Structure formats: C-alpha cells, structure tokens
Amino acid sequence: MQAVILVGGEGTRLRPLTYALPKPMVPLLGRPFIGWIIERFRTAGVDEAILSCGYLPAAIQAHFGDGRAYGVRLKYVHEVEPLGTAGAIKNAVDHIDGTIFACNGDVLTSLDLVALLQDHRRQGAIATIHTRPVEDPSQFGVVETDAVGRVLRFVEKPKPGESSARDINAGTYVLEPAALEAIPAGRPVSIERETFPQLIEKTGAVFARCTEDYWIDVGRPDTYRQAHHDILDGRFAAPIGVEIAPSVWSADGAPLPLGVEVRGPVYVGAGVELEPGASLEPYAVCYDGCSIGRDAIVADSILWPGCSVGQGACVRGAILGIDVAVDREAVVPPGAVLASGESITRSR
C-alpha cells in the first residue's frame, strides 16, 4: 500500500519559524512533525510513501533519506510551483501503483486508517474522504452526505442557513487510480473545488467517513503549541523518549541534575544543560542542546535546539527558533514567536 503526503507548502502561517526550516521538519516531541505522519501510515500497513515536496526539500530528504530507518520506502517528487492538493497528487502519479492513501502534511490525527480503507472498499468508492464535525463550519468547507455516507456536494464557508452540514474535510483520503486519472496534469488543481465535484457528478462514488478522532492542523503557532500540550497530556500519543519522572520526558533518558525544579508535563531534549536553580514549569519543552541558566524560568514554551536562556531570565508562553539567545534577566513577552538566531536583551 502506498501513501502520498503533501509537504510542499512554505509554512507561511508558522513564520518566522519556517524561514530556516520547512514545516514538515519542525520538531514535535521526539521527531519531526512529518515523522508522526509517516509512522501513522507505517502502522496501517503502508510500505511506501511518496513525499510531494516544494519548499526547502533538501532538509526533508537529508533527514529521512530512503526511509529504511523508519520502516517504509520513501520517494520524493518536487513541485516547481504550487499545484494545489489534487495537482500535487497528480504530480506523483508516475510513482503510484493502485489504490493510495493521500493526506495533507500539516494534520496530526489518530484516525483509524485501516477502517477508512475498509469503508472505502466496502462501498466501492472511487474516493473516500475523512471528515469530522465542528461546531462552527463557517470558516471551513463542509461536506454534505446522504444516509450512507455518499458525498452530495461541498459548500465553501457556508453562510447561516445555507447548509445544515457540520462535517469538514479533515485532509486524509483514499483514492482509486480512476480518481487520479480525472485530475489534469501540469497545472494547479483543487481537490475540493474541482476534482471531487467532478467525480461526484460523473460517478456518484465519492464517500465520506466521519469520525471524532483526535485531529489538529499544526500549521499555526497556537495549534503547534496545542499539539505539544496534547501529546504531553496523552491525548494523542506519548512523546518519544523516556519518562524519567511522572510526566517528565527525556529524549535520551538522562536524569535531571540536582537543584533543578521541574513540574510536569515537561520535555527535555538530548544534551540540555540545566543549571542549579533553573525551573521548568508545566508544558516547558526544551529541545536538544538548549541551556537554561541559574534561576531562569521556562514555562509553557517551546525552545528549539540550541537555545540559551540566561541566569534569572523568564520565558513564558513563547516559541523560540533555533539558537535563540535570551540574555541574563531578560523577559520574553508571552506569545512571542522568535526566528532562528534572534536574541532578547534585558530591558533597562
């Protein structure tokens, strides 16, 4: 079984973090974000995944290589220009053989992929869409279905009274070769606005499976932080590493040094230096090689590799890119998202 994972976007909603690192490679509690998606497909029986890349593809390929270390074969295709969801899938068609999974590369979900495929086959579908209900669908495109799950139409950002549907496209699909044949090559194509409506009209064989599984779009700073919270809280999966104390996770299993105050849930990467008096409060995440000075506080914040927090400094509710330096006694404003290599100095 194959999967196509769409990772071509520039990650504009996560800027400035994604100026130096493509969105699929942003760290998420023990592996790059896309690593969670690859693992999800592997456990569902996918043995080959095709990554449709666009922005900074070399970083993705350098990390994952041919995929053997991750239990799947990986292939890479590149978009010269953005092609939309359907266009990006079509761009990979030379590597596709048979029925495939396809998914957006910024969604973290506990969806049962095996059950999705079983539904697809049982209904004789040409395409099956994972959907999920939301309270307010006005900011999404909703998917209207009949009693057996057959998709009737898509309604983009419905106005009050325009549609009673509350199920949105959750970004994971099963597609037959005939669905791929319907996608024109060599130009941008929207799967919701063009491909699925055409398949609905011509075949009547587009179905949806609606579930309330865990699901989050990790493409914004607030949802990226929320994904950390959810994993640390056990709502999705456990962090990758060793639980060295209740709700305290270590990437390499190294014990905490004496004189450090830690209140979980917390994640500490490999080689993190914690000086006596340093305090890690709930939802502090310090990735590999970070250093936290004496009497410094990190709380509800994500520090990418190589960050340094000086003596007596305070970081609360922030995201710090690679190698950000926080000076002694400086305070990082809550909600700050700092680009790699930036520095925060003490206010005088």
User: Could you please report the per-residue DSSP string of 301-324?
Assistant: -EE-TT-EE-TT-EEES-EE-TT-
Domain 2-217 and domain 241-344 have a common topology: no
* Dihedral angle sign, alpha carbons of residues 91, 96, 99, 102: negative
Mean pLDDT of the chain: 91
Burial class (CB in 10 A: 0-12, 13-18, 19+), 187: exposed
Listed residue (242, 263, 260) closest to 252, CA to CA: 242
Reported as a single tens digit per residue, the pLDDT across 177-198 is 999 999 998 899 999 889 999 9
Report residue 14's pLDDT band, with 50, 70 and 90 as the boundaries. Answer: confident
What does the domain layout of the chain look like in residue ranges? Answer: 2-217, 241-344
Above 80 in pLDDT, residue 339? yes
Question: Domain 241-344 - what CATH class?
Answer: mainly beta
Range from 134-138, 161-165, 241-245, 277-281 carrying the lowest mean pLDDT: 161-165
CATH for the stretch 2-217: 3.90.550.10
Structure tokens at 200: 């609905």
Report residue 161's pLDDT band, with 50, 70 and 90 as the boundaries. Answer: low
Reported as a single tens digit per residue, the pLDDT across 281-321 is 999 999 999 999 999 999 999 999 999 999 999 999 999 99
Structure tokens at 12: 């504009």
What is the H or E stretch that residue 226 is in? helix 221-232
Report residue 261's pLDDT band, with 50, 70 and 90 as the boundaries. Answer: very high
Reported as a single tens digit per residue, the pLDDT across 79-106 is 888 888 899 999 999 999 999 999 988 8
Listed residue (257, 316, 310, 314) closest to 284, CA to CA: 316
Hey, which residues are catalytic here?
Answer: 157
